[in-house]
Amino acid sequence: MTPEVSFVIGLALLIVLAVRLKVNAFLALLISALTIGLLSGMGGVEVIHAMTSGFGEIISKIGIVIILGVILGKVLEDSKGAEKMAKSAIAMVGEKRGPLAMAISGFLISVPVYSDVGYVILSPLAKALSKKSKTCLAVITVSLSAGLLATHVFVPPTPGPFAVVGLLGIDIGEMIIWGSFAAAAMTVSGWFYAQYIMPKYLKTVIPGDPDDYAESRDMPNLLYAILPLLIPIVLILLNTTTSMLVTDKTGLVYVLSQFIGDPVIAMGIGVAVAVFLLGKRLGGGPATSKIINASVSDAGPIIFITAAGGSLGQVLEASGAGKAIAETIASSGLPFILLPFLITGILKTIQGSGTVAMITAATLCLPIVRELSGNPLLIALAAGSGARLVCHVNDSYFWVFTNMNRLSTKTGLITLSAANVFMALGGLLATWIASLII
């Protein structure tokens, strides 16, 4: 059987297993990898070797980093450091620009904290701001969602982007820079829809008696809240910068920047700073240890799914399927960034998880882009853009959004789901601009 046909059958099987039969994504990816390898003519032992080598390679690249990222996010969440950053953003922009303030808050918070959790944390704040500024609650909360959902798919140390970085072999510093650019474009697109398009057809709803966010107490100092996140990002970017500018690869500056800017060391420093500055707010040593243990458990599924994606990617490369699909795309004349965008968008719409969709698309597209001599960073940006098509009833965030705002399913679809389409197109536009530069 030709590699192209094997690829199509494997992709169809993956969708059926994950969506129709509700098979765990980890198992679905492994079964699809095995199927593609065998159908393309690889021997059984050869397929297994490709799967295990791909699995192990990804674990070694991103396993520790993802665990540290989850720990950092949990510490900032439980210490109310994330909430402090959000309120500081509102103070900076002003209550009168409530939707924009919440979009910025979401943009910042979703870097260390899962978007679902970030929404739960900031929902009372959004309701209070809606009442104070006399702004429709849906406008405020959709703007908040635009920021939360944008950095969630683009900017490390969020686990999804970290996983894609590991799969594609991208420099994390470059992903932070270009991911932030794409996330900003996506956030603005979602905010624009909420602020200027949605009010034309949506009935204004302002909450009656929310908790006043100004009365919230017991939050850490802003510097304490932001340093644990800022330090690892700066160290990683320092590593990227010195790699590009320093010519003496044996000098102290280069060697030191490579060490402290390594993602494992940088994230480890960030976690250490977070525990040192915010540990007492968490209840001291035993309580902090409990949080760290829970975070390690939470990180496990993300690591295993990503590693299974590595198995699939290795099989695609070894079987020749990536090369065959690349030749087809090259002959069609279509820009290759549409492929990861569409694959991610279709998978996200069907099965609900943007992270799983991104990992799958990155895995499928890497061998193709290598054959086309493209930049893997563009796959990450295009996949992140497609991961916003479309947040609806099979996405946990959709139900967090509708239930906490007491919205009907229909209202959720015409507010949050429709905004996600604008966000995806905004991300795709940013990806196209990046393709002209990098």
Which residue bears the tokens 């450091």? 81
Mean pLDDT, residues 59-63: 83
Mean pLDDT, residues 33-52: 92
pLDDT digits (tens, 9 = 90+) for 350-378: 767 788 888 888 888 877 777 777 789 99
What's the CA gap between 390 and 104, in Å, rounded?
22
Query: Could you give the C-alpha distances from 253 to 242, 248, 250, 267, 268, in angstroms and in order?
Result: 8, 9, 9, 20, 20
Query: Could you give the C-alpha distances from 42 to 45, 46, 48, 316, 319, in angstroms and in order?
Result: 8, 6, 10, 11, 7
183 lies in which domain range?
A: 3-437
Token couple for 287: 């309580």
Mean pLDDT, residues 189-210: 78
For residue 2, the 8-state DSSP code is -
Which residues lie below 8 Å from residue 418, measured CB to CB, with a gap of 6+? 193, 198
Residue 178 parent element (H or E): helix 172-192
Q: Provide the CA 88 distance to its chain's centre, in angstroms.
A: 23
Question: Residue 175: left (phi > 0), alpha (psi -120 to 50), or beta?
Answer: alpha
What's the CA gap between 343 and 349, in Å, rounded?
10
Question: Residue 402: left (phi > 0), alpha (psi -120 to 50), or beta?
Answer: alpha
- Residue 267 exposure: Cα atoms within 13 Å on the Cβ side: 24
Query: Could you give the C-alpha distances from 117 to 254, 330, 425, in angstroms and in order?
Result: 38, 42, 25
What's the CA gap between 161 and 321, in Å, rounded?
25
pLDDT digits (tens, 9 = 90+) for 111-160: 878 788 888 878 878 887 888 778 888 899 999 999 999 999 999 888 78
Which residues lie below 8 Å from residue 68, measured CB to CB, with a gap of 6+? 157, 264, 267, 268, 270, 271
pLDDT at 260: 93
pLDDT at 214: 46
* Total count of domains within the chain: 1
pLDDT at 217: 59
Q: Which one-letter amino acid corresponds to residue 98?
A: G
pLDDT band at 329 (very low <50, low <70, confident <90, very high): low
Residue 428 scores a pLDDT above 50: yes
Token couple for 104: 């910025």
Mean pLDDT, residues 302-317: 84
Handedness of CA 22, 23, 28, 31 (dihedral sign): negative
- Helix, strand, coil percent content, the chain, rounded in steps of 5: 80, 0, 20
Residue 211 scores a pLDDT above 50: no
Q: Which one-letter amino acid corresponds to residue 274?
A: A
What's the CA gap between 21 and 37, in Å, rounded?
22
pLDDT at 207: 58
Rounded (10°) CA dihedral 246, 248, 253, 258: 80
What's the CA gap between 36 and 31, in Å, rounded?
9
Mean pLDDT (the chain) is: 85
% the chain with pLDDT above 70: 93
**From 226-230, 271-275, 288-292, 392-396, the region with the lowest mean pLDDT:** 392-396
pLDDT at 193: 95
Mean pLDDT, residues 404-423: 89
Query: DSSP per residue over 265-318, as a string?
Result: HHHHHHHHHHHHHHGGGGTSHHHHHHHHHHHHHHHHHHHHHHHHHHHHHHHHHH
Q: Cβ(124)–Cβ(401) under 8 Å?
A: no
pLDDT digits (tens, 9 = 90+) for 155-189: 988 878 988 988 888 998 999 999 999 999 999 99
Residue 262 scores a pLDDT above 50: yes
Could you give the 3-state DSSP secondary structure of residue 333?
coil
pLDDT at 210: 45
Q: Provide the CA 268 distance to its chain's centre, in angstroms.
A: 20
Which residue bears the tokens 């603005």? 188
pLDDT at 140: 92
Q: Cβ(190)–Cβ(146) under 8 Å?
A: yes
